Structure 1
């Protein structure tokens, strides 16, 4: 009997797609083809690689009309926002293509008479990308395009909840006429993924997902001298100083907390506000959050869709209920969001005050439309609370004082420090985390370093001829 993976839509609980798992023999064939194709690909001029990758980006954008509703059906994001992910996909891909000549250029030390010395960036070989469902195009492109630009072949294992995204990548590369064998979309289970990582035929694994998934990837890679990049989520904090532009901070932090129904690794999950402006901040924050329209993501008026699954929504409901049982106060009445229905994937946004770090909602990843807000007396207290977390992906400071933001950022354990913005990846900067948010980096020149290895050339020339 053929084993299949079933994609259940959060929109209505229906079966949206079903695909057979890739057979073990077909995985081996894909590896053979990838290794063979990569040997030629690595010798192609960088300009040729760029032409293929640019054509693939253009081909993906040409599928926007089909992709946007597919995203809503697969993971619940409202259609009014679907094109935004494709714009971000293109921004990151084009940036990584554009900087490749500089990022992959040989490094040459100071000249020395009689010698030619340089360090060349060599491709690793075969790169396995394991991508998540929450931003399925954005997260995957962070590795796929630069891996190909660097001269590698790519295997993609996409999340079962976003099966069709892997197929869209394959179709984009087909339309771009990428040489056969360089890209493979594999529908594989956890056992097959672990076997692939431990096969000795994959030289780099880039995984985005849960901490538990990160541990599983590391375990599968044990005994193999391969690179492992892990982006594992966060519990990202914001600190609003007394000198912040209140309206700007509220508008952007509400969006940072609730966009994509809070299902973002770098979404805002906890906020610390100077006590002097705390009452005005929470009132304005709650008022703006009440304006969300929870409902069917296929309708243009919907601004907040369902969570990815009923199980995910129930986990967030339990976290909210636990906090309330410990003294937290809800600023919003769920009855103002008629689509909210216990036992479904549709969950109203919630703003919690009177919270403390003994509550899971302030320490454990929520990955849903809830945020806790606490008053603080000074920046020292804010720093201590921001660092009181097992995660460290991003943190944001809201202030008019650039020096203060840099000072606070220096003391904050995080991969990215924002001032007066949040929930954004700048492709010119390294995307990385600390603690349980993972290790390694994607994007920027640094991202290319994780997809290549250095090879040094030490060439002595100009020797006197033999007498």
Structure 2
């Protein structure tokens, strides 16, 4: 029997081992999901929302335990790992409240009265949703798709990353303990081939995939000809711009946190920065000093502020980008020797800030997904806008400025899914989470997110006296 192994980045030990689902188990899960959904769609929205709230409470009660598991599975410092459960609660509870609200996105759309007719549009669930979630924010990325799918009346099968299998188990466990009917929410431990086969041959009606561009392309190929609803959240190379009028102290703190939190392993983390030339030298000086304050170490040590990357190969990929940039003329401002555990072939990687960079360098054009930030000076807003848009990705973009109107004008010109002002690397559940270009398509969160999990059905009744 094939098995899944989670190798912990802390010490390269096998932290979790599970058998992969057999063909029989996969087909049983799909059959249960289809059967359970027929009953689940009849359950009131209020009852669905109540079950979501109960499941969230169960997860919050296990926050400390889950934080340790996150730490060991993917390497986030335990001091911060529990915050992911707080974020899960914020998003899930907002979506439950929104679904249940008087004018929520799942209610019938009533049209103006027309004599002799009754007309309205009802939103019906799609059926079974297949959610494929990544390891970097294992609960948050999953909950973005799982909760609205359930609230909309769909059943859900969750396939989590091989790096974070316990997260899938804990989520299903929390909903089961809350009283969710059997078969409505299930997990399967799968390899890539079996996941693709579910999309190709399975009885699912919606696929929500978060991962690489290559993985998203594979999902689209698998879904070809099946007329499925497919949502893709893919890569990013998110930019930030510090205007001449920005609060420098705030901008430095926000950008550094946005670039290096979670060891830079965030879909919407800041990976490239443009600073007005009048602030450039001071920004680099302050940012470098702040970065040197990070403590690289074992994430199960509560004093650690920068944990390992998910695996040594991922860290070496980023090191290669940095080395190549330096060979091309970039200046590295952090001496890796200041961070004791940093060495090639290790998942423990020192943070780095680079200047003298340009868009011909991979570190400024290719997704890094690690603790490195390239910084370029710019003359004005026009140059900043051109550089921010010079990317195959478009997930988020951040502007730091005291001028809201100027930021809005810049935002209108940005090719991105979300524009931030004076903040970055954050998802507000009331706002649509979406991307453009190679960052994906579709939408989660907000009322708009529910539209991708339902289909409209029109009712046109002629009333006969």
Question: Please, what TM-score do these two structures have when normalized by structure 1?
Answer: 0.98
Asked if 2 retains the 8 angstrom alpha-carbon contact of 1:327 and 1:355, the reply is yes
Q: Tell me, in whole angstroms, the C-alpha distance in 2 between the residues paired with 1:193 and 1:83.
A: 29
Asked if 2 retains the 8 angstrom alpha-carbon contact of 1:429 and 1:444, the reply is yes
Q: Does 1:235 find its partner at 2:207?
A: no
Partner of 1:425: 427
Asked if 2 retains the 8 angstrom alpha-carbon contact of 1:200 and 1:224, the reply is no
Q: Tell me, in whole angstroms, the C-alpha distance in 1 between the residues paired with 2:38 and 2:95.
A: 22
SS of the residue corresponding to residue 99 of structure 2 reads helix
Map of 1:162-241 to 2, 5 A cutoff?
A: 162-241=164-243
Q: Tell me, in whole angstroms, the C-alpha distance in 1 between the residues paired with 2:33 and 2:203.
A: 10
Q: Aligned-pair distance for 1:341?
A: 1.9
Q: Tell me, in whole angstroms, the C-alpha distance in 2 between the residues paired with 1:341 and 1:86.
A: 32
Q: Tell me, in whole angstroms, the C-alpha distance in 2 between the residues paired with 1:432 and 1:66.
A: 31
Partner of 1:55: 54
Q: Tell me, in whole angstroms, the C-alpha distance in 1 between the residues paired with 2:315 and 2:384.
A: 29
Cα shift readout 1:172-224 (whole Å, capped 9, x = no counterpart): 01211210010111001111111100125110000000000000000100110
Moved more, 305-314 or 331-340: 331-340
Asked if 2 retains the 8 angstrom alpha-carbon contact of 1:387 and 1:412, the reply is yes
Runs of 4 or more consecutive aligned structure 1 residues displaced over 4 Å after TM superposition: none
Q: Tell me, in whole angstroms, the C-alpha distance in 2 between the residues paired with 1:50 and 1:245.
A: 41
Q: Tell me, in whole angstroms, the C-alpha distance in 2 between the residues paired with 1:271 and 1:291.
A: 20
Q: Aligned-pair distance for 1:65?
A: 2.0
How many residues were matched structurally?
Answer: 462
Asked if 2 retains the 8 angstrom alpha-carbon contact of 1:430 and 1:447, the reply is yes
Question: Please, what TM-score do these two structures have when normalized by structure 2?
Answer: 0.99
Cα shift readout 1:257-313 (whole Å, capped 9, x = no counterpart): 000000000000000000011111110111111100000000011000000001100
Q: Aligned-pair distance for 1:110?
A: 1.4
Asked if 2 retains the 8 angstrom alpha-carbon contact of 1:394 and 1:415, the reply is yes
Map of 1:99-138 to 2, 5 A cutoff?
A: 99-101=98-100, 102-138=104-140
Partner of 2:95: 96
Partner of 1:315: 317
Q: Tell me, in whole angstroms, the C-alpha distance in 2 between the residues paired with 1:56 and 1:199.
A: 31
Q: Aligned-pair distance for 1:63?
A: 1.3
SS of the residue corresponding to residue 109 of structure 2 reads coil
1:281 to 283, 286, 296: 283
Q: Tell me, in whole angstroms, the C-alpha distance in 1 between the residues paired with 2:277 and 2:457.
A: 55
Cα shift readout 1:396-437 (whole Å, capped 9, x = no counterpart): 010000000100011110000000000000000000000000
Asked if 2 retains the 8 angstrom alpha-carbon contact of 1:89 and 1:137, the reply is yes
Partner of 2:10: 11
Q: Tell me, in whole angstroms, the C-alpha distance in 2 between the residues paired with 1:307 and 1:113.
A: 65
SS of the residue corresponding to residue 350 of structure 2 reads coil
Q: Does 1:460 find its partner at 2:459?
A: no
Q: Does 1:87 find its partner at 2:86?
A: yes
Partner of 2:252: 250
- Unpaired stretches in structure 1, ≥5 consecutive residues: none
Map of 1:284-433 to 2, 5 A cutoff?
A: 284-433=286-435
SS of the residue corresponding to residue 352 of structure 1 reads strand
Q: Tell me, in whole angstroms, the C-alpha distance in 2 between the residues paired with 1:308 and 1:118.
A: 50
Q: Aligned-pair distance for 1:373?
A: 0.2
Q: Tell me, in whole angstroms, the C-alpha distance in 1 between the residues paired with 2:39 and 2:202.
A: 20
